[in-house]
Amino acid sequence: MDLVNPATEEIITSVAMASVPETDLAVRRARRAFDGWRRVSPGDRARLLRRFAELVDDHAGELAGLEVAEAGHPVAQARWEAGNLRDVLHYYSAAPERLTGRQIPVPGGLDVTFHEPLGVVGLIVPWNFPMPILGWGLAPALAAGNTVIVKPAEATPLTALRVGELALEAGLPADVVTVLPGEGPVVGRRLAEHPDVAKIAFTGSTRVGRELMAACAAGVKRLTLELGGKSANIVFADADLEKAAATAPGAVFDNAGQDCCARSRILVQRPAYDRFMELLEPAVQAVAVGDPLDEGTQVGPLITGAHRARVAGYVPDGPLVAIRGRAPSGKGFWYPPTVLAGDGVTDLPAWREEVFGPVAVVVPFEDEADAVRIANDTPYGLSGSIWTRDVGRAFRMSRAVEAGNLSVNSHSSVRFWTPFGGFKQSGLGRELGPDALAAFTDTKNVFVSTEE
Ligand code: NAD
C-alpha cells in the first residue's frame, strides 16, 4: 500500500499488507514466544522494558519525523507523542515487580491470588495517535507477560514498524513484539477470530468496535475497546470566561479534531453566551494551521482527501457557520477550524455525530439540569470539561455527566498514570494508570491446605 504525506500529498513509501496466512504464522510464533516471555523473571522483564524506553527516547527525533510524514502531525506534537511512548514504557517497566496478588484469610489453609498473563494479545491501533495508542496497549501487555501482535492502521504503520525494531534492539526476545501492517477486515478480523489470540485491545470507531465484539464472542475472547466520542465542554456563566474561551479551540481542534476526546459540543450558559462567542472568535482565528514541519504550527492537515470530504460534508453553507478559522490552500488535506452556532444548529448531523475533524458546535443552556440533559444526550461517553468557579457545582456536574474522563477548569483528560476509557458506546474497560494491568491478566485463586 502506498503511504501518502497528508500535508504534501506525496507518496512517502509503500508497505506490504499482510495476508491471513501471514497473520496465522505470526500468531503461531507469538504463541511460542509467550512460553518463554512469561517465564522471564520480573526484574529482567522490567530491565528490558526500561532499555526499550531508553531506545525510544534515543530515537525520538526519528520517530517524530515518521509521524510528521505519515500522519501530518505538527512536529512539536509528534515529539510529544514519542515522549509519551517512552514514558508509558517507563511507567509499566515498574509493573512486573509490583504485580502482586492478595493473601485472603481462609480456614484450613492459605489462599493466594496470581495475575496470570493471557497469552497472545492482538493490538489494533487507529491512525489518529499511532504512537501513544500503540504504547498504551503494548507497555502494560508486555509488563504483564503477554506477547503482542500490533496491527497498525493502514495509513500509519511506519512508527509501529520502527518501534518493533527498537524492541528487538533493546533485547526483547524475537516474536514477543510483532508488527503486522495490514487491512482491518483482513489482519484485524483474523486476530479477533484466531483461537490462539487470547485478547483484543482495540482503539477505533464504535462501528468496528461493535463488529469486533461480535467476532470475539465466539471464543469468549477478552476485549477492551476505546471507541468514539462526542464530548461536551460545559461553560457556566460564573466561569473564567476568558480562559474557557481561549482554551476551547485547542480542546476540539488539536490534531485537526481527529481526537476521540475532542470537546466538539460546546455548551454555554445563556447569560454568558454572547460574551463567550465574542471571545471565541479571535481564539479560533489564532489557531495556527499549517506546515507540520514548522515549529510554530499547532494544527496540521486531515489524514486523507476522503476524510476531508467527509468532514466538509458536515458543514452547511450559510449563517450557521459562526466562525471560520484559517488553513492553507493548495496541496495537502487542509480544513479550517469551524464553529457552528445559531437557531437550528442542533438539527445538524454535526451536533450528534462524531465528525473527527475541526468542527465544533456551540449551544446555550439554562441551568445545571439542562446542561446535564444536553451533555448526556448522546450514545457516547468518553470525556468532557466543566468550567465553573463553584466547587460544589463542579463536583455535582462531574458526578452527573456520563463520561469516563472529565476535567474541571481545564481540558486535560489523558495522563498515562491515571485510568482512561469510555462510558456507554465510547468503550469497554480501562487503559493506562494502575487499571490497565487488569485488562491484560486473569486472576487465579490458589488454596493450599495446611491440614495435617
Ligand atoms: P477504524 O475503526 O476505522 O480503524 C481502527 C483500526 O481498526 C485500524 O487499524 C483498522 O485497520 C482496524 N479495522 C478496521 N476495520 C476492521 C475490522 N473489520 N476488523 C478488525 N479491525 C478493523 O477507526 P479509525 O478511523 O482508524 O480511527 C478513528 C476512530 O477511533 C474514531 O471513532 C475515534 O474516536 C476512535 N478513537 C478512540 C480513542 C479512544 O481512546 N477512545 C482513541 C483514538 C481514536
Residue 413 pLDDT > 90, yes or no?
no
Rounded to 10 degrees, the C-alpha dihedral 201/203/206/209 comes to -30
Residue nearest to atom 41 of ligand 1 (CA): 226
Average pLDDT over every residue of 64-69: 98
Q: Is 211 in the pocket of ligand 1 (CB under 6 A)?
A: yes
Residue 350: the pLDDT is: 98
Residue nearest to atom 18 of ligand 1 (CA): 185
Q: How far apart are CA 178 and CA 168, in angstroms?
A: 10
Using one digit for the tens of pLDDT, what is the confidence trace for 119-134? 999 999 999 999 999 9
Residue 370 pLDDT > 90, yes or no?
yes
Residue 191: the pLDDT is: 98
Active site residue 62: no
CATH 3.40.605.10 given to domain 2-227+426-449? yes
What residue ranges of the chain are covered by domains with CATH 3.40.309.10? Answer: 232-415
Cell of 61: 527525533
Cβ contact 21:47 at 8 Å: no
Q: Is 189 in the pocket of ligand 1 (CB under 6 A)?
A: yes
Q: Is 136 in the pocket of ligand 1 (CB under 6 A)?
A: no
Using one digit for the tens of pLDDT, what is the confidence trace for 383-402? 999 999 999 999 999 999 99
Q: Is 430 in the pocket of ligand 1 (CB under 6 A)?
A: no
Average pLDDT over every residue of 86-102: 98
Ligand 1 centroid–CA 208 distance in Å is 7
Using one digit for the tens of pLDDT, what is the confidence trace for 342-367? 999 999 999 999 999 999 999 999 99
What is the pTM (predicted TM-score) of this model?
A: 0.97
Residue 11's SS3 state is strand
Using one digit for the tens of pLDDT, what is the confidence trace for 212-268? 999 999 999 999 999 999 999 999 999 999 999 999 999 999 999 999 999 999 999
Q: In what order do the strands lie in the sheet with 441-449?
A: 103-104, 109-117, 441-449
Q: How would residue 412 be classed by pLDDT, with cut points 50, 70 and 90?
A: confident
Ligand 1 centroid–CA 81 distance in Å is 18
Residue 200: the pLDDT is: 98
Query: What is the amino acid identity at position 288?
Result: A
Q: How far apart are CA 425 and CA 228, in angstroms?
A: 8
Percentage of the chain exceeding pLDDT 90: 99
Average pLDDT over every residue of 28-55: 98
Average pLDDT over every residue of 143-160: 98
Q: How far apart are CA 284 and CA 16, in angstroms?
A: 40
The secondary structure of 188-248 as a DSSP string is IHHHHH-TTEEEEEEES-HHHHHHHHHHHHTTT-EEEEE-----EEEE-TTS-HHHHHHHH
In sequence order, the 6+-apart residues with CB closer than 8 A to the CB of 246 are 279, 283
Atom index in ligand 1 nearest the CA of residue 191 equals 20
What residue ranges of the chain are covered by domains with CATH 3.40.605.10? Answer: 2-227+426-449
Atom index in ligand 1 nearest the CA of residue 125 equals 9
Cβ contact 164:15 at 8 Å: no
Cβ contact 159:70 at 8 Å: yes
To which residue does cell 466562525 refer?
A: 323
H or E element in which residue 139 lies: helix 130-143
Residue 35: the pLDDT is: 98
Q: How far apart are CA 125 and CA 131, in angstroms?
A: 9
Residue 257: the pLDDT is: 98
For the 232-415 domain, the top CATH level (class) is alpha beta
Q: How would residue 179 be classed by pLDDT, with cut points 50, 70 and 90?
A: very high
Query: How much is the mean pLDDT over the chain?
Result: 98
Percentage of the chain exceeding pLDDT 70: 100
